[in-house]
Structure 1
């Protein structure tokens, strides 16, 4: 069986920007330092409006939501690599959005932190935070176990092996593009 990610989802709508994903005040944290990487993750989505609820429960440093479902233009705003890194450090493995800001999409593959899936249809209006879902990589689909529904996803394409490797530099070493 191929790769599968399963868990509860956190649902967002359109234009979630990098300041909402990780506010600028936390950009002094250095992700290459393990303790600061973990701390960065604990601040993921702290800039969201209150209407979304808490992404990370009080007194916790990781989220219980390995998958985010969002609307259009996810990751817009600043070109900070800290945004996908913070989400990955928080425990997010994938985001499924209707569309992405291109720099955020690129930073997902460059850092290897999470899989940026694109939905074929608008899902954020149909789903609710806390529903149990599964991403089936082999069939490019999202299964909502709470609703007993299956939804097609656009294929990841050439970025999948880059993210599987852990980012662009790991992929380049793995494939012999740069020396180990």
Structure 2
């Protein structure tokens, strides 16, 4: 399990638009379909990554909690499905249904969206304010599959709480996410 760190999209960056297939509904969804009044979380995940598997239940809990506060959530999988078929749309649909994802799970077949967001690993989290400006990028919390620290979602929760209050998250509180690298096509 090789670890890769996120590349930290510059703060203030406008959320890159997209139009991607939702693996569950089989509909094309864009950023405007998933954004919400108070802010939007865009996260890059996949089915097979042990880091994603480790944090997924906490991510689902945070999404369920903060959607009630006016924050939108979307998950995107950008992995090469030729070499990682477990990350393909059919498997995405199965996982999203089994886990009852409260947000769309989109398939980035061309990997253009991952490149636009400068995504490097799974999981990778981005918080955008009501104007779709990046106010946070980084990790969920300090827990990883191997370090034994409890999952709290502290870093993402702090960022969302700050965004809801129109407060900035200090740069030193924005630590890169760590996970499996995005499986780029050859």
Taking structure 1 as the reference length, the TM-score comes to 0.29
Q: Which one has more relative contact order, counting CA pairs under 8 Å at least 6 apart?
A: 2
Taking structure 2 as the reference length, the TM-score comes to 0.28
